[in-house]
A and B are shown apart, each in its own frame.
Chain A
Amino acid sequence: MARGPLADTGRAAAVALDERAVATGRRIPFRGGRDDSRFWIPVFLLPFLVLYVGFTVWPLVATIVYSLFDWDGVQPLTQFIGVDNYTRILGDPLFWSAFRNTLLFAVLNTVIKLPLTLLVAVLLTRRWLLFKRFFRTVFFLPIILPVALSGLIFTYLLNPSNGALNTFLLEHGLLRQPIDLLGHDNTALLAIVLISVWQIFGQYMLYWMAALTQVPEELYEAADLDGANERQKMFHVTLPLIRPVAVIITLLALVNALHVFGIIVTLTAGGPGRATYVVSYFIYSEAFQNAPFRYGYASAAALIFAVLAFVFVSGQGLLARRAERLRQHYGV
Chain B
Amino acid sequence: MVSLKALATAAAAALCVVGCGSGQSSATPSQAPGAPVTLKIQDYSVEQTDFHKQVAAEYHRLNPNVTIEWTSIAQVQYNQSLPLAFSSRQAPDVFYWTNFGPNAMNSLLASGWIQPWTTDATAAADWEKRWPSGSFLNGITLKGGKVYGFPWQDTHYWGPGYMYMNKAVFQQAGLDVSKPPATWSQLSNACKAIKAKTKAYCIAAPMKDTDFQRLWYALAAGRMSDTFFDYKNGRFSLDDPRLVDTFNYIEGLNKNGYLAPGVNDKDFSRQQFAAGQAGIYMDGPWMVSVWAQLGFHSDGYAVAAHPMPDDTPRGALSQRYSQYAYWLSSQSTHQAEAFKFMRWATNPTGFFVQNFLKNSFATLAFADNKKYLTDPAWKSVFRIADTRAFRVLYPEPLLKCPGLADSKAFTMASTTRPNGEWEVMVQNLVNNRDMTADARVLVNMRQAAFETQLQKEQASGLKVSKDCYTFAGWNYDQDFNPANYPKS
**CB <8 Å contact, B263 and A180:** yes
**CB <8 Å contact, A46 and B263:** no
Question: By DSSP majority rule, is chain B's interface helix, strand, loop, or mixed?
Answer: helix
**CB <8 Å contact, A50 and B207:** no
B277 part of interface (Cβ distance < 8 Å):
yes
Binds A, one of B345-353, B416-424, B459-467: B416-424
B64 part of interface (Cβ distance < 8 Å):
no
**CB <8 Å contact, B263 and A43:** no
Binds B, one of A1-9, A229-237, A266-274, A302-310: A266-274
**CB <8 Å contact, A182 and B263:** yes
Closest B residue by C-beta to A185: B431
**With contact pairs A268-B263, A272-B263, A274-B423 given, residues A290 and B418 touching in the complex (Cβ less than 8 Å):** yes
Contact of B426 among A46, A74, A272 (CB under 8 A): A272
B19 part of interface (Cβ distance < 8 Å):
yes
* Distance of A294 Cα from B427 Cα, bound (Å): 24
Within the complex, the shortest CB–CB distance from A293 to chain B, in Å, comes to 7
Contact of A268 among B84, B208, B272, B411 (CB under 8 A): B208
Residues from chain B with a CB closer than 8 A to the CB of A183 are 207, 261-263, 430
Within the complex, the shortest CB–CB distance from A175 to chain B, in Å, comes to 12
Within the complex, the shortest CB–CB distance from A29 to chain B, in Å, comes to 17
B15 part of interface (Cβ distance < 8 Å):
yes
Within the complex, the shortest CB–CB distance from A192 to chain B, in Å, comes to 13
**CB <8 Å contact, B427 and A291:** no
B201 part of interface (Cβ distance < 8 Å):
yes
Q: How many interface residues does chain B have, given as a range?
A: 35 or more
Contact of B207 among A39, A271, A290 (CB under 8 A): A271
Binds A, one of B5-13, B27-35, B387-395, B471-479: B5-13
Contact of A272 among B100, B207, B277 (CB under 8 A): B207
Binds B, one of A142-150, A157-165, A244-252, A315-323: A157-165
A75 part of interface (Cβ distance < 8 Å):
yes
Within the complex, the shortest CB–CB distance from A177 to chain B, in Å, comes to 8
Residues from chain A with a CB closer than 8 A to the CB of B15 are 46-47, 50
* Distance of A273 Cα from B429 Cα, bound (Å): 9
Residues from chain B with a CB closer than 8 A to the CB of A39 are 5
Residue from B15, B112, B208, B263 with most neighbouring chain A CB atoms (10 Å): B263
12 A-B pairs with CB atoms under 8 Å apart are A159-B264, A161-B201, A161-B260, A161-B264, A183-B430, A184-B431, A268-B263, A270-B209, A271-B207, A271-B209, A271-B263, A273-B424
Binding site for B on A (CB under 8 A): 39, 43, 46-47, 50-51, 54, 72-75, 94, 155, 159-163, 178, 180, 182-185, 268-275, 285, 288-294
Binding site for A on B (CB under 8 A): 5, 8-9, 12, 15-16, 19-20, 76, 79-80, 83-84, 86-87, 99-100, 107, 111-112, 201, 207-209, 260-264, 268, 272, 277, 411, 415-419, 423-428, 430-431
